[in-house]
A and B are shown apart, each in its own frame.
Chain A
Amino acid sequence: MKHTISVLLQNKPGVLSRVTGLFSGRGFNIESLSVNQTLEADVSCLTLVTTGDDAIVEQITKQLHKLIDVIKVTDNSETDCVEREMILIRVKAEANTRAEVLRIIDIFRGKVVDVGPKTYMIEMTGNAHKLQAVVDLLRPIGIQEIVRTGTIAMIRAHKN
């Protein structure tokens, strides 16, 4: 099963390699990874997506926790959270396909951020499923290149 895990880290040199080294060294896999500063300048938030059964994911969270520079580990699969990725897509946009491309990205609330003589660059955010759906729809029209961020996640506010 897929798990999105958020890790709060001390923002120090080499910390990221401790995390990734742990995954490669113990044979856990990382499907996507994203990391940046939080509100506190000396704390980073790293979000990673991994797969494994419950025992493996339990080991992953415990091992992450054991790293001296790790402040907090949350397995978001246990909570109700918002997950987002961002994608940039360079898609063929010639006279006969332009309208179709615009229609598709409009449905998914993407936008065109760069226009070339025969291509559009499209920017879009969403969860992994939604972005995959867009890629699948645009592929027959002619995708030249995609770049995709890792997933980031935030827990929803408690209702009531």
Chain B
Amino acid sequence: MAPKKDNTRSVLITGLGGQGIILAGNIISSALFSKGFDVKKSEVHGMSQRGGSVESHIRFGRTVYSPLIPYGCADYLIALDENEKKRLHRQLLPGGSIIFLPSENRTALPSPRTLNVYLSAVFLRRLGFSKNDISGYMSRIVKKKYIDINNKAIEAAFRNSASF
């Protein structure tokens, strides 16, 4: 029973209902999908939309099996909420990275509602995606009237994420 030797990587996005976790998951997964990865993304809609905790699991690699990240195996934790970050910290692999913006630093955002797009951009930038690419994935997913403000959030991510 040899355990799977594969290079599947796992991204866990977490926050509260209303923060746009699902949208962040859509931007990130569509970006990875366009680069030719096998991608699986999983989240649960329903009760979770009523302000409760929301998680989106994204896995990418050559062949991905489970859409759920095995316990304690997240390579990245993207947290939109402080409490959720603490709660899900144990899902992170030793040496995994956390992508989070403390409330006091959120003044850099064009609006608090864009935190999801901002953090998605920070993450995708780390994987080598360009500003233009990220803006393209975002524009295909968010409502037209919100494209401009989210482009500003992406700009901010490219200005600031060096400090992470």
A, B: real partners: no
List residues of chain B with CB under 8 Å of any chain A CB.
none
List residues of chain A with CB under 8 Å of any chain B CB.
none
